[in-house]
Amino acid sequence: MNGAESLLRTLLANGIELCFMNPGTSEMQFVSALDRVPGMRGVLCLFEGVCSGAADGYARMAGKPAATLLHLGPGLGNSLANFHNARKAYSPVVNIVGEHSTQHLGHDAPLTADIEGFARPVSGWVRTLECAAAMGEATSAAVDAAIGPPGKVATLIVPADYSWSEAGDPALPVQRTAPALPTEQTIREVAALLRSGCPAGLLLGGSALHERGLRAAGRVRAATGVRLFANRNSGRMARGGDIPAGDRIPYFPEAAQALLAGFERLILVESKPPVSFFGYPGLRSTLAAPDCTFDTLSAIGENGSEALEWLASALGAPASPETPAAARPTLPCGEPLTAAAIGRTIGALVPEGVIFSDETVSCNEQIWPHLAGAPAHDHLPVTGGSIGQGLPVALGAALACPGRKVVSLEADGSAMYTLQSLWTMARERLDVTVVILANRRYRILDIEMKRTGAGKVGPQADRMLDLSDPAPDWVKLAEGFGVEAVRAGTADDFIREFGAAMRQTGPRVIEAVLD
């Protein structure tokens, strides 16, 4: 079998059965092999940043990697912003990048570039295949590296001739390592600390924010009164219904520092000590109290959810403490279309099990509280701060969870970076409702302009923040990609259109023009 087949079969042997791709000449053998190797689903994306973001969203929900297939250095270049987010989400991705054939590489052809150099800043593992015979072994090593734990982007660069040459058998499946648990002593020490009455919080990330982890954290809270905090940049968080909720660390440092003031101990569960998103003149970047001591229950990549269950048992916590569900929000009938009105409508109307891909920016704080009143769901935030991930993550999540409704909450500025995602949603008939919050401005930058001391926004600066001349027409853009779309200008419009979207399946865009 040739190299391309050996690679695909090795991926399949490891349960990797989906590949987001935007292939070119150097990857034609992989594309051709899709018809000879049953079981690998190719999903075409019209821009590589869609591939990388979709693989991130898929990994966050499926708990296993997808593959990506990209064309040479520039194709990889286009994927990097969303691989940055995947890296910060600890999402496993097996990233296959085609390279020129080896006999062509010395000639400095137009597309020749330093592919390893492009890959390194976002990849936890990079390798250029050395010969066709190594294809199975190298693919297996890429899978192993991607899975971790913690998950990583593992980039395997494959010269074209190794995909068309004889390559031998695929490799055997990778032996998985279970994520580590704390020692008994750590459990005893953390339990003693929590029983001591010292003002302490649990800062949760990774699997500790999945439903299982949060239910265990809720038991620990019931037994000890410890405060629960959620890392706002962790890849996935369960919420809503009767799932125990913690306080999400606020975006701006002043609010975060106020929330964490007085907590002398923070116990980290798959999270690092919290830091501000940006640095500002005269403000410190750390968010915990200056005299706070950090203890680690589970490091990143370890099994925080099981550690919390163990801790709960050690504390003799109740098996299922009652967690009152937040009230479902009321519909904003007859009101203006504000971000809060949108949040209330969504909180009121989404079905159980919905997945939110949330890339709202300046509107986030007005929407967030109202989603707590929704039935149990998963929330996928921007992990690495690189905008343009919301639509692709929604796409990947929808492919990972075909039975669940996905709601993509987008700012009109952010949605623009990877709007080509809409085409793949249409092609694959994915059940994604995209809500574009159109304020026709990079609104967050009005705030950041003041915060960085840059002063008043003059007419030149204003034009660099303004998206209203011309205002993008998201109904036409969506329809241009084959996705049904409507515009809402009042809360009543939005209630009607969002409700309709919840009752249908398939992709739909609602442009919500904010009041």
For its own copies, which residue of 63, 74, 321, 369 counts as binding (CB under 8 A)? 74
CA–CA distances in Å: residue 441 to residues 466, 486, 514 = 5, 20, 11
Least gap, CB of 256 to its own copies (angstroms): 12
For 250-259, the CB contacts below 8 A with 24+ separation are 250/365, 251/277, 251/364, 251/365, 252/276, 252/451, 253/280, 253/283, 253/284, 253/285, 253/287, 254/283, 256/287, 257/284, 257/287, 257/289, 259/229
The footprint of its own copies on this chain (CB under 8 A) covers a number of residues equal to 107
CA distance 470 to 276: 34
- Looking only at residues 219 through 238 of this chain, which bind its own copies when binding is defined by CB under 8 A? 233
Residue number with CB closer to its own copies (131 or 465): 465
Does position 73 bind its own copies by CB under 8 A? Answer: yes
Q: Which residues of 450-489 are buried (b: 16+ CB within 10 A; e: fewer)?
A: eeeeeeebeeeeeeebebeeeebebbebbeebebebbbbe
Binding string, 344-383, against its own copies, x = CB under 8 A? --------------------------------------xx
Q: How far is the CB of 510 from its own copies (least distance, A)?
A: 15
Residue found under tokens 């990778």:
174
Are the CB atoms for 70 and 95 separated by under 8 Å? yes
Token pair belonging to 393: 């993550």
For residues 233-270, one letter each, b for 16 or more C-beta atoms within 10 angstroms of the residue's C-beta and e for the rest, the string is bbbbbbbbbebbbbebbbbbbeebbebbeebebbbbbb
Residues within window 116-145 making contact with its own copies, judged by CB under 8 A: 117-118, 120-122
465 binds its own copies per the rule CB under 8 A: yes
Q: Does 88 bind its own copies (CB under 8 A)?
A: yes
* CB neighbours of residue 32 within 10 Å: 15
What are 359's two structure tokens?
Answer: 């890339």
Which residue, 100 or 405, has its beta carbon nearer to its own copies?
Answer: 100
Cis geometry, peptide bond prior to residue 150 (ω within 30 degrees of 0): yes
Radius of gyration of the chain (CA): 24
Indicate whether 44 belongs to the interface with its own copies (CB under 8 A). yes
Only one of the segments 136-144, 291-299, 362-370, 417-425 lies at the binding site for its own copies (rule: CB under 8 A); that segment is: 417-425
Q: Cβ–Cβ contacts within 10 Å for residue 330, how many?
A: 12
> Measured from the CB atom, is 209 or 331 closer to its own copies?
209
Selected binder of its own copies within 197, 403, 469, 503 (CB under 8 A): 469
Side-chain-facing half-sphere of 359: CA atoms under 13 Å: 31
Q: Which two tokens stand for residue 327?
A: 């009230």
Position 445 contacts its own copies (CB under 8 A): yes
> In the set 42, 199, 369, 489, which binds its own copies (CB under 8 A)?
42
Residue 90 touching its own copies (CB under 8 A): no
For its own copies, which is the closer residue by CB, 48 or 211?
A: 48
- Exactly one of 168, 186, 189, 286 binds its own copies (CB under 8 A); that residue is 286
Q: Within positions 10 to 39, which residues make up the interface with its own copies, using CB under 8 A? A: 21, 23-26, 28-29, 31-32, 34-36
Q: Which alpha helices (H) appear in 110-224, and where do they start and end?
A: 115-119, 135-147, 160-164, 184-195, 211-224
Q: Is 193 in the site for its own copies (CB under 8 A)?
A: no
Of the two residues 193 and 475, which places its CB atom closer to its own copies in the complex? 475
- Binding flag, residue 177, its own copies (CB under 8 A): no
Q: Is 440 in the site for its own copies (CB under 8 A)?
A: no
Q: According to the binding rule CB under 8 A, does residue 46 interact with its own copies?
A: yes
> From residue 145 to residue 164, what is the string marking binding to its own copies with x (rule CB under 8 A)?
---------------xx--x
When the beta carbons of 33 and 312 are compared against its own copies, the nearer one is 33
β-pairing verdict for 377-381 and 237-239? antiparallel
Nearer to its own copies among residue 316 and residue 459 (C-beta): 459
Cβ proximity to its own copies: between 35 and 291 the closer is: 35
